[in-house]
Structure formats: C-alpha cells, structure tokens
Amino acid sequence: MSTKENYELAKKAYEKWGINVDEVIETLKNISISVHCWQGDDIGGFEVNPKELSGGISVTGNYPGKATTPEELRADLEKALSLIPGKHRVNLHAIYAETNGEVVERDQLEPKHFENWVKWAKENGLGLDYNPTLFSHPKADDGLTLSHPNEEIREFWINHCIGSRKIGEYFGKELGTPALTNIWIPDGYKDIPSDRLTPRKRLKESLDKIFAVDVDERFNLDAVESKVFGIGSESYVVGSHEFYLNYAMKNEKLCLLDTGHYHPTETVSNKISSMLLFSEKLALHVSRPVRWDSDHVVILDDELKEIALEIVRNDALDRVIIGLDFFDASINRVAAWTIGTRNMIKALLYAMLVPNEYLKQLQEEGNFTERLALMEEFKTYPFGAVWDFYCEKMGAPVKESWLEEVKAYEQEVLLKR
C-alpha cells in the first residue's frame, strides 16, 4: 500500500478515540526545534586561535568529514535540515563568530561577527538562538568564570554575556523571531568545597550585572542552565538546579533544563509540569546521557516520549522552547543531526496521537486499570504510518530513505575534506 493509504487506515484507528489526525499534522508543521550547530564540528568553533575543549566537555570519535569552516558547517546543516520535516531553528555558540582572520576576544564580539549567519538564516527561513561560550578559554582554565574570585576575570565574562544578549537581540530583530540566549557556565570544584555560599553570591552578582543591561524581550529571551556535576567539578557546581531555579523565578528569566544535567534517577519529564505551574515559558536542551552527561544522539526512548507527552498533554507546545544538545564524533555528523531531530519530532507526534484528555479523566475517576491498559496499547498504534505521511507531505524522506542521501553526501562532500 502507498504511504497515503497507510495513513488513511491509521487515521481511522485514531479517530475512534476522537483524535483528528489531520489537525495533529497541521499543528506539528508549526513546531520548530532548535538544532545545535556544534554537532557538525565537535564544538570546535572558528576562533582564530582555537582552544582545546575544557569545562568538563568531551567529544570522542574521529569520523571523517568534520566541518572546519563556516561554509562547510552551514552546508552540512542545510543537508541535515533538508532531511528533517518542518521549519526549524539553528542554535549557535559565541565561538562560531566569523572575524575574517582577526583576533577578537569574546568580550568584544558584536552582531557584525554573525552577519553571515543571519544572511544564511534569512535565505533558509530559519530562526537563530545563541549561547555565550564560557569554556575552552584561558580565562576559564581553573574552572571558574562568572563566580571567579578575581574581579577582572569576572568582568571579562560579564561583558561577554552582555554582548551575547545584544547579539541575540540582533538575531531576533533581523529574523522576526526572538532568539533564546542561554547562559551555561562550568564553574565548580573537583573536591569538597569549604565554602559553597560565596561563589554563588558572586554568580548572583554577575548575573544581576548582566541582566541589568536593557535588551528588548520582543527580540531576545534570556535563559539560565544548571548542571549537577561535570568532569573537574564532581563535588560542587556553583550553578546548581536550585540556584538557577530560584534565580529564574525571582528575576523572570527562563530556566533551561538539560536532560543530561541531573542525577541518573532524575528525569526532566517529571519536572515539566511543576515548572509550567510557575513559569510562563520553559526551555529544554534535549540530550541522551549514558551513565553521565555524555550527550549521546537523541533516540526515541521512553524518556523522550515522556518529555513530549508532558508538553502535549499540558497544552504547552507554545510555552516550551525545545532545543537539542548532543555531539557524537564517532558517527556521520549529518546523520546524527538527522536522527536526533527526527526523533524529537516523532516523539511530539506520538504524544499528540494519544487520547490524553480521556486518560486524564480515567485517572481522576481512579480507573487505573483502564488507564494502564490504554497507555500500553497506544504504544503499538500505527503512529509510524502517520509519521511517514507527514514526512512525505513536508517533502522530507520517508522511513530510512534519508540514509541514502547522507551516504551520497558523505562520498561527494565529506570524504573530500
């Protein structure tokens, strides 16, 4: 049978439960995922004097074809985005500035250093998001940045973050969609600290200075991102979940939850409903930790489905900003983007094809038997047929046919670098 015929059969199965599949597809078309640029070059960036990765970040693997220029990275992104249904966004770090061979320190970066990215985004109908880069730099070598006891080093990073917010504002003005500018720092200690409070006081003061500079919220949204531990900060992280949750609430900033930044038994899906009760918007970095914050490519596992279900069943598709954050240099990088982003969209589709309101009703009535039975049965409902039809409708490859395009691109482009 054709993709369309399979779709029509699937529709009938879902319509029995009052699910309008055509409406679901129209909704899905308008959801944008923020695709992280750093999967394409192993977080190398384009600084004139590049630094080795630091801040507890590690990329393993040496698969051929890594992007080494902005043009290569943008071409690879274009290829990946052509294989992913829908219109999406691209998330940049400060180290992806283009300075035409001139050494420009991070606290001196300006919108002009991202003009090529904005031009490219306009040509491709994309939004852009942004992150200051507070790692892989001599002024972050001892593992401290915005909480550093040295005032001069703190000021350097404060100015970098202020400039980053202005760059985000520039993106929003130029592209007609607000940029999410997210601050993550690696600050912490390897061994048990004798004073946990003072570094956090300095971080709070630094953030206060950063956000005291007026930036138009119509064009830039500010977010702060926590972490439970990192390599080199195993015993103490200054910017903990509790710190940033309180800071974001008090200062009306977005709290960004990274799925790899919590203890192994914690799940971000379980946090979403609580966050939505007290925040107008919430931001996510979706990754896949394996034993630690190892940022594996996102797969369609139970936690990804549960994250999507929490967003959909709580009517929060317009309140949760979804970005991705993984990097794997052991596989084809274009394939990594394609697999991870398609899976995020698949999870949202899966969540929209569940009779969420009826399941809520069953829970309120205490009918846990039927609730469990239906939640399990819907796992094998034909959502794959709906996904295939959606891909075809959006001009994206159906099923695994995208892999042939990636293989051809590898032979024609990546292996010749």
Instruction: Give the pLDDT confidence of 313-351 residue by residue, as tens digits.
Output: 999 999 999 999 999 999 999 999 999 999 999 999 999
Displacement of CA 51 from its chain's centroid (Å): 23
Number of Cβ within 10 Å of residue 253's Cβ equals 20
Cα-Cα-Cα-Cα torsion 255, 258, 262, 264, nearest 10 degrees, comes to 150
pLDDT tens digits for the chain (417 residues)?
899 999 999 999 999 999 999 999 999 999 999 999 999 999 999 998 877 777 777 788 999 999 999 999 999 999 999 999 999 999 999 999 999 999 999 999 999 999 999 999 999 999 999 999 999 999 999 999 999 999 999 999 999 999 999 999 999 999 999 999 999 999 999 999 999 999 999 999 999 999 999 999 999 999 999 999 888 899 999 999 999 999 999 999 999 999 999 998 899 999 999 999 999 999 999 999 998 888 999 999 999 999 999 999 999 999 999 999 999 999 999 999 999 999 999 999 999 999 999 999 999 999 999 999 999 999 999 999 999 999 999 999 999 999 999 999 999 999 999
Residue-level pLDDT at 264:
86
Domain architecture of the chain: domains with CATH: 1-30+353-417 (no CATH), 32-350 (3.20.20.150)
Rounded-to-integer distance, Cα 358 and Cα 371, Å: 9
pLDDT at 69: 97
Is 22 designated active site? Answer: no
- Report the alpha-carbon distance of residue 4 to residue 42 in Å, rounded: 39
In the chain, what is the straight-line distance between the N-terminal and C-terminal CA atoms, in Å? 42
**From 41, 174, 295, 388, active-site residue:** 295
What pLDDT is stored for residue 49 in this prediction? 80
Q: Does an H or E element contain 85, and which? A: none
- For residue 139 the two structure tokens come to 């002024």
Q: How large is the angle between the packed helices 356-365 and 368-377, nearest 10 degrees?
A: 160
Q: Considering 36, 261, 271, 305, which one is annotated as catalytic?
A: 261
pTM of the model: 0.96
- Of 227, 253, 305, 346, which one is the catalytic site residue? 227
How far apart are alpha carbons 109 and 4 in whole angstroms? 50
For the chain, what is the total number of helices (H) and then of strands (E)? 14, 12
Question: Which two tokens mark 86?
Answer: 């829908």
Q: Phi first, then psi: what are they for 338, rounded to 5°?
A: -65, -50
- Kindly state the tokens that stand for 46: 């384009």
Question: Residue 325 catalytic?
Answer: yes
Rounded to whole angstroms, the Cα distance separating 186 from 405 reads 38
At 128 the pLDDT is 98
Q: Active-site residue 227, yes or no?
A: yes
Are the C-beta atoms of 253 and 224 separated by less than 8 Å?
yes
Q: Which amino acid is at 324?
A: L
Residue 297: closest CA among 40, 32, 29: 40
Catalytic pick from 107, 129, 174, 258?
A: 258
Q: How many other CB atoms sit within 10 Å of the CB of residue 305?
A: 19
pLDDT in tens, 50-80: 777 777 777 889 999 999 999 999 999 999 9
* Active-site annotation holder among 107, 187, 293, 388: 293
Evaluate whether 322 touches 284 at the Cβ level (below 8 Å). Answer: yes
